[in-house]
């Protein structure tokens, strides 16, 4: 018990204090549970109303700003062992992971996303509006890719079709979007109807063809460290010699081979964040890095905007989303927000080529 209290104190977090980031403890068994189960116990006890906090984002910013290693626990050790022994992002497992998250129901996501259904970081340059920030992000991607009307574009992990629709509407190019989410595919086909867009149910590993431009926005987090090299080999084989590939992904400062146990169990099964070292090794002798852009603090704004919208709409959603689910989802959004604010996680836009032409990027 005292270990956990001292850890919180070291992070500047009070127990039953008056500051917005202090926690209010409703069950005194909380401390032993956190000590025993680590991040999994912390998240599950919040879902079960063992504790509350007015500003979860600030709580996690302070907690994650500590450099001390987390107290080891069996859940963490088992997650790490599973990631070492098995390819948890294999072709068969990938579908199960998608069903657990992206096939929850489109009404959930549309309750807090923008009109282009962007479930990734917005670009909040000179704006505080989520919808405008997402359009700025889409425009930035298109311009970094130097999109032209005659381009054929592959969107790996196309989501609900937002990027494909924006690129086809504003730049006139043909976009092929691929995904293995049944719900996203169904929605994206209707959302992009009448435009020069093809939406296919396809795992990246099975894709064929050649494309002028390839984009991957918010999907690389599901590839897994055992598949990074395979993924980049596939991208290189699909990209024309004078083409460009833009990767937008969440990244972290250090190299790991496992995910946060709570996130892995409740939000993104098999999800994993890459390091620069891992991306560099995966692209070595395949692709040339042309531009690197980090705007992770914009993800903090994005997540706060999503949480505000979700909080306003969660009780009007399907009855499937009960109070426990709503607490889980808010915990997910705000814990991630705090992680970005603590610079524990980052958002990277990286442009690659095959080195055939001079590339000049923009901001």
- pLDDT, tens only, 302-312: 999 999 999 99
- Looking at residue 74, its pLDDT comes to 41
What does the block give as tokens for 325?
A: 């689910």
Catalytic residue among 121, 158, 173, 336: 336
Q: What order of strands is seen across the sheet that includes strand 197-201?
A: 197-201, 174-179, 152-156, 211-217, 239-252, 345-353, 288-294
Confidence class for position 284, pLDDT limits 50, 70, 90: very high
Q: What percent of the chain has pLDDT over 70?
A: 89
170-206 pLDDT, tens digit per residue, is: 999 999 999 999 999 999 999 999 999 999 999 999 9
Assess contact for 251 and 283: CB atoms under 8 A.
no
Q: What is the pLDDT of residues 31-81, one digit of tens each?
A: 999 999 999 999 999 999 999 999 999 999 999 988 544 444 444 444 444
Q: How confident is the model over 139-164, as a mean pLDDT?
A: 98
- The pLDDT value recorded for residue 216 is 98
Average confidence (pLDDT) over 145-149: 98
Mean pLDDT across the chain = 90
Please give the span between the terminal C-alpha atoms of the chain, in angstroms, as a whole number.
49
Sequence-separated (6 or more) residues with CB below 8 Å from residue 63: 8, 11, 13, 338
Looking at the predicted structure, is the pLDDT value of residue 82 above 60?
no
Asked if the model's pLDDT at residue 103 lies above 90, the reply is no
Residue 325 pLDDT greater than 60, yes or no: yes
Does residue 13 contact residue 63 with C-beta atoms inside 8 Å?
A: yes
pLDDT at 77: 42
Q: Which residue has the tokens 């987390």?
A: 70
Q: What is the pLDDT of residues 261-270, one digit of tens each?
A: 899 899 988 8
The total of other beta-carbon atoms located within 10 Å of residue 191's CB is 19
Q: pLDDT category, 361, cuts 50, 70, 90?
A: very high
53 belongs to the catalytic site:
no
Nearest-angstrom CA–CA distance, 95 and 269: 10
- Confidence at residue 115, expressed as pLDDT on a 0 to 100 scale: 98
What b-and-e string marks burial along 314-351, b requiring 16 or more CB atoms within 10 Å of the CB?
Answer: beebeeebeeebbbbbbbbbbbbbbbbbbebbbbbbbb
pTM of the model: 0.91
DSSP element (H, E) containing 305:
helix 297-313
For residues 346 and 327, give the distance between their C-alpha atoms in angstroms, rounded to a whole number: 24
């Amino acid at each position: 018990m005292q270990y956990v209290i001292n850890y919180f104190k070291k992070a500047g977090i009070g127990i039953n204090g008056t500051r917005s980031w202090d926690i209010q403890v409703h069950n005194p068994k909380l401390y032993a549970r956190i000590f025993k189960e680590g991040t999994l116990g912390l998240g599950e006890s919040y879902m079960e109303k063992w504790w509350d906090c007015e500003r979860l984002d600030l709580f996690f910013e302070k907690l994650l700003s500590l450099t001390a290693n987390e107290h080891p626990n069996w859940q963490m050790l088992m997650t790490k062992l599973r990631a070492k022994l098995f390819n948890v992002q294999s072709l068969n497992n990938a579908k199960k992971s998608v069903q657990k998250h992206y096939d929850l129901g489109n009404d959930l996501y549309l309750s807090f996303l923008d009109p282009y259904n962007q479930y990734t970081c917005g670009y909040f340059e000179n704006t505080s509006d989520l919808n405008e920030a997402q359009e700025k992000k889409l425009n930035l991607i298109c311009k970094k890719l130097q999109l032209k009307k005659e381009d054929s574009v592959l969107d790996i992990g196309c989501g609900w079709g937002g990027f494909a629709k924006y690129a086809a509407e504003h730049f006139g190019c043909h976009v092929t979007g691929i995904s293995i989410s049944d719900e996203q595919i169904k929605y994206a086909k209707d959302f992009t109807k009448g435009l020069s867009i093809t939406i296919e149910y396809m795992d990246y590993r099975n894709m064929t063809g050649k494309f002028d431009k390839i984009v991957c926005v918010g999907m690389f987090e599901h590839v897994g460290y055992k598949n990074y090299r395979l993924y980049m080999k596939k991208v290189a084989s699909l990209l024309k010699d004078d083409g460009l590939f833009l990767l937008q992904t969440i990244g972290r400062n250090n190299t790991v081979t496992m995910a946060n146990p709570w996130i892995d169990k409740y939000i993104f099964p098999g999800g994993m964040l890459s390091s620069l070292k891992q991306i560099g090794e995966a692209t070595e002798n395949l692709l040339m890095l042309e531009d690197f852009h980090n705007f992770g603090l914009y993800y903090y704004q994005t997540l706060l905007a999503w949480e505000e919208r979700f909080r306003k709409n969660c009780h009007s959603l399907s009855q499937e989303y009960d109070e426990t689910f709503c607490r889980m989802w808010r915990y997910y959004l705000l814990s991630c927000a705090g992680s970005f604010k603590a610079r524990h996680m980052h958002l990277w836009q990286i442009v690659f080529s095959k080195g055939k032409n001079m590339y000049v990027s923009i901001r």
